[in-house]
Amino acid sequence: MIPFPASDFIVGGVFLLAVATTAAGALIAALSTRIIRSVAGLALCSIGLAGLFYFLGSPFLALMEILIYVGAVCVTIVFAIMLAEPDEPAPEARSSRTVLWGGLALAVSALIFWSLWRLGAQGHWTPPAARVTDGSVKAIGISLLTTYSMAFELISLLLLVAIMGALVVARSGRAKA
Amino acid sequence: MTLLRSYEQPAVFLILAAFLLAVGIFGLIRRRTLVGMLISGELIFAAAMLNLMTFNRFTAPDPTTGQIFVLFIMGLAAAEVAVALSIIIAVYRNYRSVKTKELSELTG
């Protein structure tokens, strides 16, 4: 069987594109001043992450990532922005305090990034001797309803409580306004 | 050529997850509105999911475990966002602001 011409380059290029999308989306989400651009950065980051999940052997989670994050979480945040207009306030005058806090934030995150980089690059991750299942959607469904059935039921209960709690909390202030 | 095959090395995924975590923590410290902090928290969730999926792919004997765990993280994140956004809207109704600096009644 003759492989598709340059398929290695295409697959590698798509992977690098997914990595770049994730990193760029995260940077946009954390650094932009308009909050709506920040949400768009989060959506971009989620799409890149879905591509990475595909490369990690889980098309199911790639689909779920796009459904839940781009389709539900980002849309909900956009609704909250429309209701509350929480734009980032204009940058303050560059006093010594703001510079100190910015430097502290940069130092903390750079330290975490550097140390985790070292840890991840040095570790010898040995592949398992044998795989029990193939990790397909069928295997996921079987173990969701056998081994993890208790956690599955608990998370449905948690989602129900969260929906009702969100309704109650968002309703409570309406009489005063 | 190693760059094109880099999706077979766990270090690439781990470093990207560390980057997402670092960016999320930076945003969490720097943001001055509640919604901005929530978005940075979502980035930290994304870092955790990528990390779990990496170890699921490269070291776990049962590949379904990590996928189910990440699915639960997604459900928890969705529930968290729903509750947090309703709290943010309730706060905005009472204070007419979601800037973290103005949300203080006790002075000290």
Selection from B32, B50, B99, B43 nearest residue A109 by Cα:
B43
Same domain membership, residue A145 and residue A84: no
Mean of the per-residue pLDDT values of chain B = 86
Domain boundary, last residue among A58, A91, A124: A91
DSSP string, A105-135: HHHHHHHHHHHHHHHHHH---PPPS--SS--
Instruction: Return the half-sphere exposure (C-beta side, CA atoms, 13 A cut-off) of residue A137.
Output: 7
Give the range among A43-47, A129-133, B1-5 with minimum mean pLDDT: B1-5
Of the residues A60, A91, A122, which one is the last residue of a structural domain?
A: A91
Do A85 and A12 fall within a single domain? yes
The reply to whether residue B67 touches residue A140, judged by beta carbons under 8 angstroms, is: yes
Pair (A18, A69) in one structural domain: yes
Cα A2 to Cα A5, A7, A18, B4, distances in angstroms: 8, 11, 27, 20
| Closest residue of chain B to A162, computed from CA coordinates | B79
Q: Which run of H or E residues covers position A23?
A: helix A7-31
CB contact under 8 A, B22 and A109: yes
Residue ending a domain, choose from A66, A91, A116: A91
Q: Does domain B10-102 have CATH number 3.40.50.970?
A: no
> Residue B88: pLDDT band by 50, 70, 90 thresholds?
confident
The ipTM of this complex is: 0.89
In-domain check, residue A125: no
**pLDDT at position B108:** 56
Whether A85 and A138 map to the same domain: the answer is: no
Reported as a single tens digit per residue, the pLDDT across A131-145 is 888 888 899 999 999
Q: Is residue A103 part of a domain?
A: no
| Distance (Å, whole) CA A66 – CA B87 | 25
In chain B, what are the domain boundaries?
10-102
User: Is A123 part of any domain?
Assistant: no
Q: Which domain holds residue A150?
A: 134-177
Structure tokens at A148: 């993890």
B33 forms bridges with which residues in the sheet?
B99
CATH number assigned to the domain comprising residue A83: 1.20.120.1200
Calculate how close chain B gets to A127, using CA atoms only, in Å.
5
User: Total structural domains in chain A?
Assistant: 2
- 3-state class (DSSP) for residue A108: helix
Establish if A121 belongs to a structural domain: no
pLDDT score at A177:
46
A2 falls within a domain? no
A residues 99-158 closer than 8 Å to B (CB): 101-102, 104-106, 108-110, 112-113, 116-117, 119-121, 123, 125-135, 139-140, 143-144, 148, 151, 155, 158
For residue A46, tell me if it sits in a domain.
yes
Does the pLDDT of residue B64 top 50, yes or no? yes
